[in-house]
Amino acid sequence: MNRKSRYRRGYPVAVLVGFEDGHAVLWQIFSRVVKQALRLELEGKRTDEKALYNFHESVVDAIKPVLKEGVRSIVVAAPVRTTYAKDFMEHVRKHHRYLIQSKSANRANFAELVGSADDLIKVAELVKTKEFTNLIAETTSEEADQVVNRLEKHLYDNNSVVLYSLKEIEDIVYSREKDSEFETEYLLLTDKYLADSKQKNRIHRLLQISQNKGVKTRIVDAETPAGNRISQFGGIVFFSTSTMQQAD
């Protein structure tokens, strides 16, 4: 039962951070559902620079684990006539510039949105808006392009492993230790590959185990340039770099 409910949430798409006057709420955006992940309190007043700094740092710290899982699309929302989202983005630009630098391996794609994301009802309305769907499409497309660009480099790197057979991918993922010799690993597949597959349970199991073992998994829109490139591999591709090979 739990396994089926987990599959119904779909695949991770983005993180929504809703700022309010005295707190922030982090939401995980999946392809089918939205789930609250965390609520962070502002310990003090916004006029207190130290309190606001610590608050913004706590939000960045909460986002980092999601980035490590491979989700790099972050939507920052705040109610109309407030500067909460802009204040946070200024903090990121000033203290965590690596998160927005185009050549950084840890780069995230941030987008700002006007609207309250304080509770599930408000978030449900927000994610239905055209502005939100457009932002998600734009940021996730940029994210996919970055990952595929990394894939292109791996294709010509003798220290890399690139696989596009489902059986071979399963073999390497299932035999992998969580802290293995691989420095970076990605499992990419298109939404069309997943939708058309007659072995959905098998693929969902691969996705879940990949995530459990620290492999960054991404489902990419098949109609995007990144999706078209992955389709050329049959709709699914795995790539990694071995730190042991790099050290040799």
CATH at 114: 3.30.420.60
CATH number reported for the structural domain that contains residue 167 in this entry: 3.30.1330.30
Q: Within a domain: residue 235?
A: yes
% of the chain at pLDDT higher than 90: 42
Buried residues in 61-78 as b, exposed as e (16+ CB within 10 A): ebbeebbeebbbbbbbbb
pLDDT at 172 over 80: yes
pLDDT at 94 over 80: yes
**Last residue of a domain, which of 82, 101, 128?**
128
Q: Within a domain: residue 142?
A: no
Q: Within a domain: residue 37?
A: yes
Residues 166 and 200 placed together within one structural domain of the fold = yes
Instruction: Decide: 59 and 24 in contact? Cβ < 8 Å.
Output: yes
- Cα separation, 11 vs 115, in Å, equals 24
Residues 108 and 29 placed together within one structural domain of the fold = yes
For the chain, the first-to-last Cα distance in angstroms comes to 47
Residues 17 and 122 placed together within one structural domain of the fold = yes
Q: Within a domain: residue 138?
A: no
Longest dimension (CA), the chain: 57
**How many domains, in total, are found in the chain?**
2
Residues 123 and 39 placed together within one structural domain of the fold = yes
Summarize the confidence of residues 149-174 as an average pLDDT: 87
Nearest to residue 137, comparing CAs of 9, 14, 12, 7? 14
Question: Which tens digits make up the pLDDT trace of 112-150?
Answer: 999 999 999 999 888 888 888 888 877 777 778 888 888
Nearest to residue 74, comparing CAs of 20, 32, 117, 136? 136
Nearest to residue 44, comparing CAs of 36, 54, 35, 57? 54
- Cα separation, 7 vs 201, in Å, equals 9
Summarize the confidence of residues 103-114 as an average pLDDT: 80
Give the pLDDT confidence score for residue 25 in this predicted structure: 97
* Neighbour-count burial of 26, counting CB atoms closer than 10 A to its CB (0-12 exposed, 13-18 middle, 19+ buried): buried
Residues 95 and 166 placed together within one structural domain of the fold = no
Residues 211 and 239 placed together within one structural domain of the fold = yes
- Cα separation, 207 vs 201, in Å, equals 10
Residues 164 and 75 placed together within one structural domain of the fold = no
Residues 109 and 225 placed together within one structural domain of the fold = no
Which of 84-88, 95-99, 155-159 shows the lowest mean pLDDT across its residues? 155-159
Q: Within a domain: residue 173?
A: yes
Instruction: Decide: 39 and 99 in contact? Cβ < 8 Å.
Output: no
Q: Within a domain: residue 134?
A: no
- In the Cβ-directed half-sphere of 52, how many Cα atoms lie within 13 Å? 18
Kindly give, in sequence order, each residue whose CB lies less than 8 Å from that of residue 124, ignoring residues fewer than 6 positions away: 34
- Cα separation, 148 vs 146, in Å, equals 6
Residues 112 and 162 placed together within one structural domain of the fold = no
Question: Which tens digits make up the pLDDT trace of 65-90?
Answer: 888 777 888 999 999 999 999 999 99
Residues 104 and 170 placed together within one structural domain of the fold = no
pLDDT at 2 over 60: no
Give the pLDDT confidence score for residue 223 in this predicted structure: 86
Summarize the confidence of residues 182-211 as an average pLDDT: 86
Q: Within a domain: residue 90?
A: yes
The boundaries of the domain holding residue 234 are 147-247
Q: Within a domain: residue 29?
A: yes
- Cα separation, 160 vs 182, in Å, equals 9
Residues 217 and 160 placed together within one structural domain of the fold = yes
